[in-house]
Amino acid sequence: MITETQTRYLTVAETAKLVRQALAKHFPDTKFSVRSKSYSGGASIDISWTDGERAKVVEAVVKGFEGRSFDGMNDLATCQDSWLLPNGEADLAYRPESYGGSIPGFVSDAPHPDAEMVHFGANYVFCNRHITNFEEREQRAAAHIRQYCRCEGEPPADRFGNQWVDSLARQMVWDFDTNETLEQTFERIVLNR
């Protein structure tokens, strides 16, 4: 098991600097705002950007910089340690099993000979993607769904399958990829292709 003496503790500001570097490396064409804040009982990093990359893609890069995991089943936060790799990326190194086992424990060996065991100063990293012309995009997405799907009910209270059309349209807007057409986003989100 990993001991405390092996772990270097990073402040939330040091963690935010690593997050900025990872974002610049992975998404050089997207402008991100990275803000760290400390509060009673912890600290967090808020990342925001407009359009650009999908939130899921950004989260895959930055969530490794969190110093805690959260078990929603038991409303319990648990500290975790990570490997800081020479390329600036982070991999989970150690997390104890949560109470009741809702989140399994995890221990890993160093993935690289020069990896360093660290505890990140930000408890959590939050991603907030903003969308330009949200309402206009939502209307176009809803019209596309209504045109190509057999919907039940009358707009705006119509459904496709077991979901409301307006909810599906919002999902299309929030999760569109800048390299996708409206049709491709529709197929990925609404038709699950």
Distance CA 133, CA 182 (A): 14
Reading the block at residue 159, the tokens are 């459904």
What does the pLDDT profile of the chain (193 residues) look like in tens digits?
A: 444 448 999 999 999 999 999 999 999 999 999 999 999 889 999 999 999 999 999 999 999 999 999 888 888 888 999 999 999 999 999 999 887 778 889 999 999 999 999 999 999 999 999 999 999 999 999 999 999 999 999 998 999 999 999 999 999 999 998 889 999 999 999 999 8
Whether residue 29 contacts residue 51, with contact meaning beta carbons closer than 8 Å, is answered with: no
pTM: 0.85
